[in-house]
Every structure is written in C-alpha cells, then in structure tokens.
Amino acid sequence: MDDSTATTPPAGVPARGPAEPSAARMAISWLRDLTLSVILAIIVILFVYQPVKVEGTSMMPSLVDQERIFINKFVYRFGLADIGRGDTVVFWFPQDTSKSYIKRVIGIPGDTVEVRNGTVYVNGHALNEPYVPEIYRDHASMPPRTVEPDHYFVLGDHRSSSNDSRTWWTVPRSYIYGKAVFVYWPLQRLGVLH
C-alpha cells in the first residue's frame, strides 16, 4: 500500500505551482555569490597566485619586457616545495628591498659556484644551460664562492644584460616570495614557464 498523500485544492480554487522567487531574494542571492567570488579571488591572489609584470630584458628569451606572468606564492611560503636549481623566482632585491627582481636559481645553499669566461660551474661541473642562447652569453668570470645557508645564487638568462648574483652575491631565502609559473600575456606567449 502506498503511503504517499496528495491534497487536492477545494473546488473553485486554482492549483498553484511553486512560488516565484522575489526580485529582492534574487538580488540577495546574486550579491552573496558575488561576495563569495570576490573573497575567494582575494585569497587566491594574496596567498597562491599573483599577477606580475616583467620589466627589463635580463630574463630574455625566457621572459620579455612588459610580459605578464603569474607567480605561485604558496609553494615556497608553506614549504610545499624546496627552491631548486633552475627555478625562476621573484624576490626583493637585497640592496633595495623596495624593488622586486626575477632571476633563475643557479646555486643552492652549500653549492660552490664559479664562472669561467661566461661558463657557469656548480660544484666543479659545467652547468648545462639551454635557456641561455649564445647571443645572450658574456665572457665574464667570477672566482669560486660557496653559497651560504639559507641563501641562493641567481642569474638572469640574458647574461650580458643582467644585474645578478655575480655583482651583489646571494639572495636570502626570506626575500624570495614566489616562483614564476605561467605567462598569460601577450597571448602568443601563453604557456607554462620552464
């Protein structure tokens, strides 16, 4: 036996469907959704991804002047990944912390870094650097130096046009606040950074 019930309206009373939502209720629902979206966007921008504009040519050809990229601020801040050799990082410039720089990590704590006629050696081995085209290399040299704990040796990919660790030495770990991960503008360069 079925225990469902249905009520039939009395004779002469028209049957009604579900009530239509009022304009005020729809506006409140829309505002709630918009507010939630804005809060989530702020959380993502503050703690995970941040848009950044590249200024200068020191990272060419990997990154070009006026290019727009996203940096991941979450991965280093919460220890989800270590800063590794080859990472492209954004950091406060050690000699003027009002400026941000973007460079590639070459030496990690404990590494001995040397530059001989433009060729970089890490722990006595020549570094394979396919991201530095021949036309962007220079022939500068730097004697061997060991990267201190919690510091990183960084270089620009455009070696003949980069103000980097060869000049002012290393970047403290606490100054590094993001890893460059994705180019979003201009559209013809859209893609993941390597």
Tracing tokens 């950091």 back to the chain, one arrives at: 91
Q: For the domain that residue 164 is a member of, what is the CATH number?
A: 2.10.109.10
Catalytic residue ranges: 58, 103
Q: What is the pTM of this model?
A: 0.77
* Burial readout 100-120 (b: 16 or more C-beta within 10 A, e: otherwise): ebbbbbbbbeeeebbbeeeeb
Task: Give the total number of structural domains in the chain.
Answer: 1
Tell me the pLDDT tens digit for each residue of 83-138: 999 999 999 999 999 999 999 999 999 999 999 999 999 999 999 999 999 999 99
CB 174 within 8 A of CB 88: no
Cα dist from 21 to 18, 25, 29, 122, 191, whole Å:
9, 6, 10, 68, 44
164: Cβ contacts below 8 Å, ≥ 6 apart: 58, 103, 154, 155, 156
Share of the chain above pLDDT 90, in %: 64
What is the rounded distance in angstroms from the CA atom of residue 119 to the CA atom of residue 23? 69
Which domain, by its residues, includes 92? 51-192
Q: What is the pLDDT of residue 45?
A: 64
71 within domain boundaries: yes
Identity of the residue numbered 167: T
Structure confidence at residue 149 as a pLDDT band (50, 70, 90): very high
127 within domain boundaries: yes
